Amino acid sequence: MSDKEPSKVLVVDDDPQIARALRINLSARGYQVVTAHDGTAALKAVAETRPDVVVLDLGLPDLDGVEVIEGLRGWNKVPIIVLSARDDSTDKVQALDAGADDYVTKPFGMDELLARLRAAVRRSGLSAADADAQVETASFTIDLAAKKVRRDGAEVHLTKTEWRLMELLVRNRGRLVTQKQLLHEVWGPSYDTESHYLRVYVAQLRRKLEPEPSRPRHLLTEPGMGYRFEP
């Protein structure tokens, strides 16, 4: 996965008590917290800080809750979790139909709110998190998601075993990967000593990808230990 960074939460609440409680609890769970105390500040804060999720208390001093939601949804699709003291059904329906993702009534359990937060982040995360894996070298590029390798614009075909080996090396780029580890992951636990396989397949990869296969610049041998991929 790509994101080790903590999720950023925008907490919108005019009650300093609740805002403070949320900040403490969320920070303790590793979230990065930004706060806003009214609707206009909330809209501004979203534009500026780009949070991963918004916790929005209804009953703000300046704007109606639904207005805030609509103001956000006009241009942004960040998940919104609404907090409200009112358990009225119409309020919920209005907020949800305006574009809120969830609606929690006060008093609420912090555990529950955190779980709903995780759910919201998880949902929005998996759609966006795909686009990472693209590794480049001087002579070829590797797309881990598409399982494609291009060299001088033309696509190079790798077989299943070639790809498994290549992927393992690329995912550990810059680091040495031992023979045992490579054999283990590509061929299985019972091939730990068949280092001949490695020689054959590394040679094939070099022949397909290195500009000068006999003088490898990216798929390097560490004699007696293993192999290393250098971007």
Q: Which stretches of the chain bind its own copies, using CB under 8 A? A: 77, 89-90, 92-93, 96-97, 99-103, 109, 111-112, 114-116, 118-119, 122-123, 126-127, 145-148, 159-161, 163, 174-176, 222-225
Q: Which partner in DNA, its own copies, none is near 148 (CB below 5 to 8 A by kind)?
A: its own copies
Q: Which partner in DNA, its own copies, none is near 109 (CB below 5 to 8 A by kind)?
A: its own copies
Per CB under 7 A, which region of 20-28, 54-62, 131-139, 192-200 contacts DNA?
192-200
Short-list 49, 32, 33, CA closest to 41: 49
Residue closer to DNA, measured from CB, 114 or 156: 156
Q: Which residues contact 98 (CB under 8 A, 6 or more apart)?
A: 66, 69, 70, 73
Q: Which partner in its own copies, DNA, none is near 203 (CB below 5 to 8 A by kind)?
A: DNA
Nearest approach in angstroms of CB 225 to its own copies is 5
Pairing of strands 226-229, 176-178: antiparallel
186: which DSSP letter? H
In whole angstroms, what is the distance from residue 32 CA to residue 8 CA?
5
Contacting DNA within 128-157 (CB under 7 A)? 157
Nearest approach in angstroms of CB 51 to DNA is 17
Burial of 200 (0-12, 13-18, 19+ CB in 10 A): exposed
Indicate whether 195 belongs to the interface with DNA (CB under 7 A): yes
Q: Which partner in DNA, its own copies, none is near 4 (CB below 5 to 8 A by kind)?
A: none
Count of other CB atoms within 10 angstroms of residue 143: 14
Indicate whether 116 belongs to the interface with DNA (CB under 7 A): no
Integer CA distances (angstroms), 159 to 48, 96, 105, 110, 162, in order: 46, 49, 55, 51, 5
Burial of 68 (0-12, 13-18, 19+ CB in 10 A): buried
Q: Site for DNA (CB under 7 A): how many residues?
A: 25
Contacting DNA within 156-175 (CB under 7 A)? 157, 159-162
Residue closer to DNA, measured from CB, 119 or 170: 170
In whole angstroms, what is the distance from residue 158 CA to residue 201 CA?
11
* Cis, bond preceding 107 (omega within 30 deg of 0): yes
Indicate whether 206 belongs to the interface with DNA (CB under 7 A): yes
3-state secondary structure of 30: coil
Indicate whether 200 belongs to the interface with DNA (CB under 7 A): yes
Binding residues for DNA (CB under 7 A) = 157, 159-162, 179, 187, 194-203, 206-207, 213-214, 221, 223-225
